[in-house]
Amino acid sequence: MNYPRSIQKLIESFSKFPTIGPRTAARFVFYLLKAKDEDVDRLVSSISDLKKNIKTCSLCFNTFEAEAEICEICSNSGRDKKLLCIVSKDPDLMALEKLKIYKGLYFILGGTVSALRKKDIEKLRFKELKERLKKDPGIQEIIIATNPNTEGEATALYIERILAPLNKKITRLGRGLPVGGELEYADEETLKSALEGRK
């Protein structure tokens, strides 16, 4: 027996979320059925505003909410334009920004590669990264801040390889980050010393 169609449809939508399986999706739906109308309305309008208001920065691919074409980090004249930090995804940028010690620019790759398959490589913004560096000759140091796990390592090695012909200084986060872990979950002190101890 299946759930009524409206329930089933929403379960299918939630099941597409990262890490959410059909059982958790069903729990979300039944939670919504019991939730107050105003809470459901707020959720619906947040979701529809998201696509309307959020833009992706054409320089770093960070998401932001404004009329401008580039995000507040890229357009901030107080940032150090000689430093470019490459991260896999938005939450990694947020984790580094929270430390308030890094004043350079960013580039969001859009994920990591597990194996160096052409298909995986094409999904990430390697081409855009190379173009960005060509357009921006003022960048003197490229900091690779991928996760300290197998995928992050493979991605970092690939970045080093494709950027080698540019003859720029390329650094990696220093030791101390828990091996196998993810940058976005690292504690602030550890992340801070990994950034300061980059080499």
Binding site for Zn ion (CB under 5 A): 57, 59-60, 62, 71, 74
User: 58 or 150: whose CB is closer to Zn ion?
Assistant: 58
Q: How many CB atoms lie within 10 A of CB 191?
A: 24
User: 74 or 113: whose CB is closer to Zn ion?
Assistant: 74
Smallest distance from Zn ion to CB 108, Å: 9
Smallest distance from Zn ion to CB 107, Å: 9
Smallest distance from Zn ion to CB 115, Å: 29
CA distance linking residue 153 with residue 170, whole number of Å: 14
Burial code of 137-169, b = ≥16 C-beta within 10 A, e = fewer?
A: eebeebbbbbbbbebbebbbebbeeebeeeeee
User: 29 or 57: whose CB is closer to Zn ion?
Assistant: 57
User: 59 or 177: whose CB is closer to Zn ion?
Assistant: 59
Task: Name the strand (E) or helix (H) holding 169.
Answer: strand 169-172
CA distance linking residue 78 with residue 104, whole number of Å: 9
Smallest distance from Zn ion to CB 155, Å: 20
Smallest distance from Zn ion to CB 86, Å: 13
DSSP, collapsed to helix, strand or coil, labels residue 173 as coil
CA distance linking residue 197 with residue 176, whole number of Å: 9
User: 82 or 175: whose CB is closer to Zn ion?
Assistant: 82
